[in-house]
Amino acid sequence: MDVSNNLQAKTKEELLTLVLQHQTTIAEKIKKITEQADTLEQQSTTLEQHVARIAQLEERILQLLQEQYGRRSEKLKEPEDNNTFDEAVVPPEDEADIAATDAAITVAAHTRKKHGGGRKPLPAHLPREEIVYPLPEEQKQCACGCMLTKIGDERSEQLDIIPARMKVLVHIREKWACKGCEDTIITAPLPKHPIPKSIASAGLLAHVVVCKYEDHLPLYRQEGILQRIGVDIARSTLSQWLIKGGALLKPLVTLMHGMIRKYDIAYADETPVQVLHEKDRAAQTQSRMWYFAGGAPTERCVIYEYHETREGAIATTFFKNFAGYLHCDAYGGYEQLFTDKTITHVACWAHARRKFVDIIKTSKHPSGVAMTVINLIKKLYEIEKKCKDENLTPEQVYTRRQEQAKPVLLRIKACLDEHVAKAPPQSAIAKAMNYTLNQWAALMTYLIDGRLEIDNNASERGIKTFVIGRKNWLFFDQPEGAEAGAILYSLIQTCKLHDVEPYAYFRHVFATIPYANTDEQLIALLPFNYANTSPPTAA
């Protein structure tokens, strides 16, 4: 019995040990399976992230290719069939609704002028030189034997040009003396010149300014042109003339600054500029040329300001004591202007539209959210065009916008709210929708006043003029040159706003401003007050 009991006890112990071993093995296998499941889940998540990242990078590559090699125009053609990102598609009923709305809003057709439809007459103010071609004597007798009688003239005109010619102004000051006492000698006074003791007259100074900042002709090219006509003036001298000319006209820009602050609608933008020799900064460092505009419509002013940075404090300083509406983009540096509610942000629908246009240019689905938003924004611009074509007053524009534009804006908002959560967060369409939604309150601001504009394109046109010049002269050498350039650009662009010919204006102002000693005299020299009068003579 004892042997049998011992065997049974031993068997139970072995079985128990075996069971424990199996339990341990099973637990280890369960743990391993759990770890493998976690690993698979992590790998699946990582794979999804990689797929999303690849799609994002492919999308970005297409956008970069479009930026580098594609059409710059924002006018849309059929989208390219080469996109790897398919944006959400608008339901068919929405497309039909859009088409119906398109049919309801009509814009006057534009008829392109034919190039061969006849030439414009030559300007009447140009001097005429008549060249008479008489009929030879032997042709003045008719075949019948009678003498011909002159019955009129046949006139035709050609345009001729005389290359630039320079002349030297010799200032001769009479000297008078008393022969009786031989103590009195009086010399006639010399007129004031824009740059004392300089060979640059008001006309030459105006010519250099307009060539550089309106015709975008760098100084080294102007130097070569002058050398061809026999005048050797170094570009360093031309540069100094521009700097001194800018300093002379700075009081005019200061007055313009005050006019912008007094009115309640203004504009702002900025663009990079390179200045080679800035203190404690590398030559490759980019500075900024800021653009500001405003003032009453009859006194609209444009001001450029050179600054080393893009800090928002620059705009804050410029618009100190300004109250009203500011058209600008979504750059964060402007945000501090709107904190005290005295300045209201008017955002730019052209900027919002541009983000959707960039998507369409590389998308193969023209019926997506981006196209829907673009079609709706198009309606907003059609409304603005009709207001302009009909020459509506600000009050009438306000009413038209409330009746026609506001419903379209609400449709855009509803479309964005519906689709923003469906798009991948890092995708271009999500970024475009979030940008528009984040700026929504500012994008709606233009509804509340008929004088406001739907976009900030006026600023972009002003910046574009500077950018075109920058492509030619590339950079400023010194900060002083950049500051002078900003002043001269300001006056040229203000001249263009008021249809004032820049050369005639600068010639007049450079000759007159040395005699201007009061604010009233300076105000009379602003472009919108300019009158083509003769320069004053010395008193």
Tens of pLDDT, residue by residue, the chain (539 residues): 555 666 566 677 777 787 778 888 888 888 888 888 888 888 888 887 777 777 667 666 766 766 665 565 556 554 443 333 334 444 444 444 444 444 444 444 445 555 555 678 888 888 898 999 898 888 888 888 888 888 888 888 888 888 777 888 888 888 888 888 878 888 888 888 899 888 899 999 999 999 998 888 888 899 998 888 888 889 899 999 999 999 999 999 999 999 999 999 999 988 888 777 677 677 677 788 889 999 999 999 999 998 888 888 889 999 999 999 999 988 888 888 888 889 999 999 998 888 888 888 776 555 588 888 899 999 999 999 999 999 999 999 999 999 999 999 999 999 998 888 887 777 888 888 899 999 999 999 999 999 999 988 888 787 777 777 776 666 677 788 889 989 999 999 999 999 899 999 999 999 999 999 899 999 999 999 985 444 444 33
Burial of 364 (0-12, 13-18, 19+ CB in 10 A): middle
Directed axis angle between helix 502-512 and helix 479-497, to 10°?
120
Q: What is the pTM of this model?
A: 0.73
Look at residue 488 and give its three-state secondary structure. helix
Place of tokens 């059409």: 71
Cβ proximity of 82 and 364 under 8 Å = yes
What's the pLDDT at 382?
94
> Is the CB of residue 325 less than 8 Å from the CB of residue 452?
yes
Nearest C-alpha neighbor of 449 from the set 260, 258, 299, 263:
263
